[in-house]
Amino acid sequence: MYVNGEWLRDGPTFSVHNPATGETLGEVFDGNAEHAQQAIKAAEQAQDSWAGETAYKRSELLARAHGLMLERQAALANLMTREQGKPLKAAMNEVKYAADFLLWFAEEAKRIYGETIPSARADQRFLVHKQAVGVVAAITPWNYPISMLTRKLGPALAAGCTVVLKPAESTPLCAMAVFDILHEVGFPPGVANLVTTSDPKPIGDVFCTHPSVRKLTFTGSTAVGKHLAQAAAPQLKRVSMELGGHAPFIVFDDADPVHAAKGASLVKFLNTGQACISPNRIFVQRRILEPFLDTLQERVGKLRAGNGLDPANSIGPLINEAAIAKVDRQVQDAIAKGATLLSGGARLSDGELANGHFYGATLLSNISADMLIYREETFGPVAAVVPFDDDDDVIAMANDTRYGLAAYVYTQNLARALRTFEQLQFGIIGINDINPTSAAAPFGGMKESGLGREGAREGIEEYLETKLGGISI
């Protein structure tokens, strides 16, 4: 636990394991509600002085953290692969992405502008001022264990907020490595605090109910997000949530089916499908269904599962046994209800995979609306293909979900692309693009996929209050 500028190491611990091998990677401080309160007190005491720092000072520290993170890119990526499981190349990319948020918000810190507003009265002036919300409580997930930290820490610290962060219990070592960087570049004591724990509920309860916490930011499941929002509501805390997704991937018949299938395979099996923007329902217009499936099946068949430290492996393990059970339940349900299994469809446990949480890259076709996989977020390496005929029908099917985070569209027709972009009820839409994300772009969803945006100039607004001064002269 890192509180008030110091590492606290004496106390109860819990073990952290490699999901690919089962080996124990280390022992981590096991914090509880009292520790969360201690961290919040440190953040509260540091809040006024940190908010009073110049934007240039806050910017300088974030820029230094960006530089140090890039210096340690290889070591951080190696740690991430061992703790979270993703292939080393993907981990390297994530560290770069994480550093981008630090640099972007280092720049945005100096661009928190106010304004003056004309008054109808000759003797009155209006002055609008932006200031830090206050103490921020942040809860981050295991699937992107470094970039999801900086996507919250960057804007909060840039805005002048102090932070208490609880990382996922599966990936605390990555969080500790990030806070090592913040410590080394010289963030003042109490500005950034870390509480690690094996039991997130008591920490979450403190975050939601402590009166000194003025903002709660969470990335994780929709079910947990709803619970946290309800718990924070009595104090009217500011809340931002980046929650689950159920992304449609629409391939119209004027698209190149081979190119679209290659794109689908890359984004579907990114991070072993454990990404909130991962496509869950792949809608393909019937006229090009066969060549699309042929290419996708060929690509899926070449995916090799294994330890992410081996460059020959393209997909890693799932995070735990519960994830394996959920994925297999959806696959078996689909097969029982008439889906065609083209690849995979089973757990992998031979040889070096025996001690890990591996599931074979899976391709299902003939998916229908009565199947679990059509309705539920999968969070695993399963591509589910749904044929369609009519443009209006596919828009209705794509929007037929309580989620609204990401969507993908493949078409060469500009009018069709713009029409679909406007009709889809999702916050992020890639048009012939499988990576519609950046530190410079707003990230977030509609409906039950969340509240607010992260990244871009919108990202820092989540951590700012607007204050109006009416001045009589």
* Catalytic residue, candidates 242, 377, 454, 462: 242
Phi, psi of 167 (to 5 degrees): -80, 170
Q: What is the pLDDT of residue 66?
A: 98
**Tens of pLDDT along 108-164?**
999 999 999 999 999 999 999 999 999 999 999 999 999 999 999 999 999 999 999
Sign of CA pseudo-dihedral 345, 349, 355, 356: negative
Please report the beta strands in 201-246, taking only residues with DSSP state E, as ranges in sequence order.
213-219, 238-242
Share of the chain above pLDDT 90, in %: 100
Tens of pLDDT along 163-186? 999 999 999 999 999 999 999 999
pLDDT digits (tens, 9 = 90+) for 361-388: 999 999 999 999 999 999 999 999 999 9
3-state SS, residue 452: coil
Q: Is 34 a catalytic residue?
A: no
Question: What pLDDT does residue 133 have?
Answer: 98
Distance CA 191, CA 40 (A): 10
With 0-12 CB in 10 A as exposed, 13-18 as middle and 19+ as buried, what is 389? exposed
- pLDDT tens sequence across 440-458: 999 999 999 999 999 999 9
Residues near 136 by Cβ (< 8 Å), separated by ≥ 6? Answer: 43, 152, 156, 161, 162, 163, 164, 213, 214, 215, 216, 217, 463
The answer, yes or no, to whether residue 88 has pLDDT greater than 90, is yes
Report the alpha-carbon distance of residue 293 to residue 257 in Å, rounded. 9
User: What single letter denotes the amino acid at residue 216?
Assistant: L
Residue 435: pLDDT band (50, 70, 90) is very high
Same fold, 2-243+447-472 and 247-431: no
3-state secondary structure 147-205: HHHHHHHHHHHHHCCCEEEECCCCCHHHHHHHHHHHHHHCCCCCCEEECCCCCHHHHHH
Q: Using CA of residue 278, residue 284, residue 288, residue 291, what is the dihedral sign? A: positive
Distance CA 179, CA 173 (A): 10
Question: Is residue 372 classed exposed, middle or buried when 0-12, 13-18 and 19+ CB atoms within 10 A define those classes?
Answer: middle
Per-residue pLDDT, averaged over 31-60, amounts to 98
User: Alpha-carbon distance 431 to 410, whole Å?
Assistant: 6
Closest Cα partner for 192 from 466, 1, 327?
1
> Tens of pLDDT along 284-339?
999 999 999 999 999 999 999 999 999 999 999 999 999 999 999 999 999 999 99
State the burial class of residue 338 (Cβ atoms within 10 Å of its Cβ: 0-12, 13-18, 19+): exposed
CA distance 175 to 142: 10
CA distance 366 to 339: 5
Per DSSP bridges, beta strands 135-139 and 163-166 are: parallel
Confidence (pLDDT) at 99: 98
pLDDT in tens, 53-65: 999 999 999 999 9
- The residue behind tokens 């027709």 is 413
pLDDT value, residue 199:
97
Give pLDDT, residue 398: 98
CATH topology (fold) of 247-431: Aldehyde Dehydrogenase; Chain A, domain 2 (3.40.309)
- What six digits make up the tokens of 275? 């990404």
Work out the average pLDDT over 17-40: 97
User: Would the pTM count as exceeding 0.85?
Assistant: yes
pLDDT at position 9 is 86
**How far apart (Å, rounded) are the C-alpha atoms in residues 153 and 439?**
13
Measured in whole angstroms, how far is the alpha carbon of residue 81 from the centre of its chain?
17
The answer for residues whose C-beta is within 8 angstroms of residue 39's C-beta and 6 or more apart is 1, 3, 164, 193, 194, 195
Segments making up each domain of the chain, as ranges: 2-243+447-472, 247-431
The active-site residue, picked from 276, 377, 448, 462, is 276
The alpha carbon dihedral of 220, 221, 227, 233 has a sign of positive
How do beta strands 192-194 and 163-166 pair? parallel
Report whether 308 contacts 86 (CB < 8 A).
Answer: yes
DSSP per position, 55-85: HHHHHHHHHHHHHHHHHTHHHHHHHHHHHH-
Q: What percent of the chain has pLDDT over 70?
A: 100
376 catalytically annotated: no
Mean pLDDT of 247-260: 98
φ/ψ region of 206 (left if φ > 0, alpha if ψ in -120 to 50, else beta) reads alpha
2-243+447-472 under CATH 3.20.20.70, yes or no:
no
For residue 453 the two structure tokens come to 């945006």
pLDDT at 444: 98
